[in-house]
Structure 1
Amino acid sequence: MPLLAQQPISRAGLSPSYSAAVASTTVLTGDRAFLHVKNAAGAPMTVTVTSTATQDGQPVADLVVTVPATNGDKMIGPLIPRLFASLADGVSASITYSSTTSVTVASLVI
C-alpha cells in the first residue's frame, strides 16, 4: 500500500496537494494527523480507517466515514496512534476506499 505524503499546515497557510485515491493506502498517524477526502462522483462512498486497538481484550471497531456524492468532502481524524497505528510499524494507518472513481485525498498534519 502506498504511503500518502503528510503535508504540514502552517501559520503561513497550505494549499494542499491531492492524489487520486487507490483501493488502499497508508497515512502517518498522530494526535494532529488528518485525512481529507473529496468525492466528485455521483454516488456516496465510504472511507475505512482500520483500527488496531483493543479494549479489555476486544477489538475496537474500524472508523467508517461516508463521504457524500458530487462535491462531498470530509476531514477525518485525528488519526490517533493508539487507535490506528499499524502493529507492524507503529506509525502508519491503513485506509481503504469503497470507490476510487473521482475521489482525491490528502494527508494533513497541524
Structure 2
Amino acid sequence: MPRTNVSVAQITRAGIAPPDETNGDSANNHVVSNNGRVVLLIRNSGTTVARTVTFRFPVLIDGQSVIPKAVSIPTSASRYFGPFPVDTYGARLQVDVDNAELKLTAFGI
C-alpha cells in the first residue's frame, strides 16, 4: 500500500492554529512533502515504552542503500526534527514508525 501522507502546515507571521496530528501507521508508514524547510513534531503518546521513528534516505552510494536514521522517543515525550535537505532526504521525506502511539505533525517554515 502507499505511504500515509502527513500534511504540512505552513507557519506564517500571522500565526496558525495547531494542526491535527497524524496517527502513526506502522503498516504503511508515512511520506511528507519536503522542500528542505520542513520540521516534524513527533510525539510518543504511550506511557510504557519508548518508540522509534526512522528517516529513510532515498539515495544510493555506489549502488548501495544508505542505512536509515533511527531515533528513539521516550515515553510521553515529543521531539522536533528537521529541516531535511532535499538532496539528502528527497522531495518526499519517508518516515517510518514502529507503533501507532507515535503522532506526527509537519510544519513548513
**TM-score under structure 1 normalisation?**
0.81
Q: How much has 1:54 moved relative to structure 2? A: 3.9
Residue 88 of structure 1 is matched in structure 2 by none
Residue 33 of structure 1 is matched in structure 2 by 38
Q: Call closer, same or farther: CA 1:63–1:14 in 2, change over 3 Å.
A: farther
Matched, 1:53 2:56: no
Which one-letter code corresponds to 2:9 in the other structure?
A: Q
Which one-letter code corresponds to 1:51 in the other structure?
A: F
Residue 15 of structure 1 is matched in structure 2 by 17
Which one-letter code corresponds to 1:11 in the other structure?
A: R
- Distance in 1, matches of 2:84 and 2:17, equals 21
For these two proteins, the number of residue pairs brought into alignment is 103
Q: How much has 1:40 moved relative to structure 2? A: 1.7
Matches within 5 A, 1:59-78: 59-70=65-76, 72-78=77-83
**TM-score under structure 2 normalisation?**
0.81
Identity over aligned pairs, percent: 20
Q: How much has 1:55 moved relative to structure 2? A: 4.7
Residue 99 of structure 1 is matched in structure 2 by 99
Q: Which runs of 5+ in 1 are unaligned?
A: 86-90
The RMSD of aligned alpha carbons is: 1.7
Q: Call closer, same or farther: CA 1:15–1:67 in 2, change over 3 Å.
A: farther
Q: Which runs of 5+ in 2 are unaligned?
A: none
- Distance in 1, matches of 2:83 and 2:60, equals 18
